[in-house]
Amino acid sequence: MTREEAIKAMQTHRVRHRYFSKEEWVTQCTNGMLCLEDGVMCDPEEFWRWRQGSEWDDGWEIIPNPERGVG
């Protein structure tokens, strides 16, 4: 999926990028912050600051888990 699709999917699902390990994921909490698999919360601007360039424009996928359990 594309970056734009991943941003939308983060609102309801955990997503990962092809560069992430199988254990890594990100999701958006109800307060708008992004939550990573290790419990770290970050502002979306901070998250995307380090993920610039065409390699981050696609290669995203939803992790098949119906329960996020986060925010």
Q: What is the DSSP letter of 13?
A: S
pLDDT at 71 over 60: no
The tokens 């941003």 sit on which residue?
7
**Cα atoms found within 13 Å of the Cα of residue 30, Cβ hemisphere only:** 4
Single pTM value for the model: 0.85
Taking only the tens place, the pLDDT of each residue in 8-67 is: 999 999 999 999 999 999 999 999 999 999 999 999 999 999 999 999 999 999 998 655
